[in-house]
Amino acid sequence: MLFHRRLHLLWMLIAITSLVACSDDDDPVTPPEPEDPRVESIVISPGSMTFNGIGEEARFDAVAFDQESAPIDTVFTWQSSDLSVIAVDANGDAVATGLGTAEIYAMAGSVTDTADVTVTLDGAPTRTWIAGGSGNWEDAGNWSDGIVPGAGDVVLISEAGDYTVSLNSDVEVEGLVLGNESGTQTLDTNGRQLGLSSGGLFPGAELLVEDDFLVRGDFVWNGGAIAGSGIMEIEGSGELHVIGNPLDLNAALRNNGTITAHAGCSLRVNEALDNNGGGLFDFQGDATVTVQNNGDFTNAGTIRKSQGEDAASLFASSADFSSSGSLLVGAGSLQISGGSLRGRIEIDADAMLRLSGNSEILSANSHGDGPLVIAGRVELGSFAGQTITLRHLILDSGSIPALSGPAGLLVDHSFVWRRGTVHELGSLNTQIGSQTRFENGGSKSLSAVRWSIRGNVAGDNAVDVSLVNGATIQLESPGNWMQAGAGTIKQGSGDTGSFDVLGNFQKTGEGAFVVESSLNCSGTLDLREDALTVQGDFKLSETGIITGGGTADLVMNRRLILVDATSAVIGGTIRPDLDGQPARMDIQGLVELESTCSIELDVETDGAFNTESVYFLTGGQAFNGTLALNVLRPVDAMTDYKVIYAFAASGQFTVTGDLQFDDVVQDDLGVVCRRF
């Protein structure tokens, strides 16, 4: 009995095992979802570096690895543990800013790696000031080893205390380290020229420039002040690294090389700073330059914002900053308050230029000679009631918003619109003689802006403009819009916009030009090829003319199309073109004839009149104009209801050609023709 019970239990166990096995085969267990890659570690290369001179530069690279030790793409944040020793930018490029040791960090989220840095002066013989007080440079007893510094030497004037070192002759050295936080150490060039290839100024330093102070290599300004009646010049091969905060420029500075304003620095310009042609003034991070007192900043070269998402700033009054060179914003944002900009301005995608202050910036008093090329954003603030003048404007992508004001923007030479948005300006004006060109066919929009065109417009299928929040395009007289091919003026969100033609609009080329917004014409619509399609309200004022001037082959495509026109008001003239061919209309909405209108229309069976609509209505008023319908083909095949109301007092309503009426009702107001 016990044997049979055990045997039964054994068979049950086998059956259960088989079921489980079958279940596993039929419905396998789903493996867990793999984890998304994340940064697990970072490796900086090189892991350590010794710089053999102040101003020496090097690049550090970093690679991130995920939890599987595979390389992973990420964005690194670079940082220095001590800016008085080493500075590093957003790309890992480092510059030695002083003697000592420090660390460089590469960070991605909470993960960090470190590189050790040492800055020494082992690259050249060192001459140290040991006089214990003031004295002359040429006195050998004031220097270590009893040797007066000369070409190839690195000079250290960094002992604590208050003293002055004076030059009595022109001197050329390899490098200079000036400054100690304890006391004030002054180097007085005393009317002599001093040239060097490297070095730096540090807290406590005072450089008195009384002749020329020439920088031919990398020079760091990490503290102290530059003063005097002479000129500090950065030669073409030189670079001045502005590191400290704050720094006072109390002597003239002439740049023919590079000035790099590193993140966190603050430079106060109290004398003349000239960025000459070929010179580069590079803002990084949140660097700040303030032109104050008797200072003045003139740019004939290039001012650039190259790195960092933070906003760099340049503050000046209108008379203290002027730029006839280039202004390039390649990263983050650059704020300019005051001054005048006359040269080329380029804003890269995702970058921003913020202009504020006073009317001297891009104003009529400071005429812009170079183009403003916008791929990012430009903000115009504090320009209430003022007009900003540009010679050339290129809107590549992005927008021109106004922070406050709003300001008017006037372009008097050329406007190239590739894509992007213009919004919240008081007005956009393109002047007489200016040229506007649409390119690329990208999305373009106007928002709450009136664009007044008094110059020439070259349109093609790149015309694709949305009117948002009541924006208006006004083609004023003597403006000319030459539209070759298809194009679209779209109705965007918000209040209804409008396309107002007071000048001359000419349509040529294949493809319909579509106006989704309302169209108001008191000028001329010269329709030569294909079609003008109006999907919003259409009004032809008393002075308005619709005509065509093309060849006979193009006559059949010259037409005005009204799609669901809720209140198309015609008070002007639709007349034959110069070769005697009448215009054509396709109408699917309501057309109201004012008493002054004069219309000659060709009627054909292939769509000159469409169906299911009321076509002409005078609204019961006295009609003194003319409505002439010329039937080019028999229309007896048309069986849908057509209704023509032509209420007339002294006006005329004539029909020529082969036209049959099913019924005609005539009363005191005029003629009502139905079902023809």
Q: Which of 599, 596, 587 is nearest to 655 (CA)?
A: 599
- How far apart CA 301 and CA 292 sit, in angstroms, is 21
**Among 99-113, 172-186, 499-513, 608-622, where is mean pLDDT lowest?**
608-622
- Other beta carbons within 10 Å of 73: 8
The reported pLDDT for the residue numbered 646 is 41
Q: Is the pLDDT of residue 51 over 90?
A: yes
- What is the domain partition of the chain in residue ranges? 41-119, 136-256
**pLDDT at position 43:** 97
Pairing state between β 247-255 and 225-234: parallel
Cβ proximity of 219 and 238 under 8 Å: yes
pLDDT digits (tens, 9 = 90+) for 320-342: 888 989 999 998 899 888 777 87
Tens of pLDDT, residue by residue over 357-371, are: 553 455 433 334 567
pLDDT of residue 139: 97
User: Tell me: the pLDDT tens digits for 534-589?
Assistant: 888 888 787 887 776 543 222 223 455 555 444 566 666 665 544 455 555 555 55
* pLDDT score of 674: 40
CA distances from 242 to 246, 284, 616 (A): 10, 10, 75
Average pLDDT for residues 109-133, to the nearest whole number?
A: 91
- List CB contacts of 266: < 8 A, sequence separation 6 or more: 244, 245, 246, 247, 287, 288, 290
Asked if 264 contacts 286 with a C-beta cutoff of 8 angstroms, the reply is: yes
Q: Is the pTM here over 0.85, yes or no?
A: no
Instruction: Assign 611 a pLDDT band (cuts: 50, 70, 90).
Output: very low
The yes-or-no verdict on residue 638 having pLDDT over 50 is: no
Helix (H, G, I), strand (E, B) or coil at 21: helix
What pLDDT is stored for residue 150 in this prediction? 93
User: Which of 129-133, 258-262, 453-457, 520-524 is least confident?
Assistant: 520-524
According to the CATH classification, is domain 41-119 in 2.60.40.1080?
yes
Q: Indicate whether 474 pLDDT > 80.
A: yes
Greater model confidence, 362 or 493: 493
pLDDT computed for residue 143 by the predictor: 97
Which structure tokens are listed for 539?
Answer: 């009004």
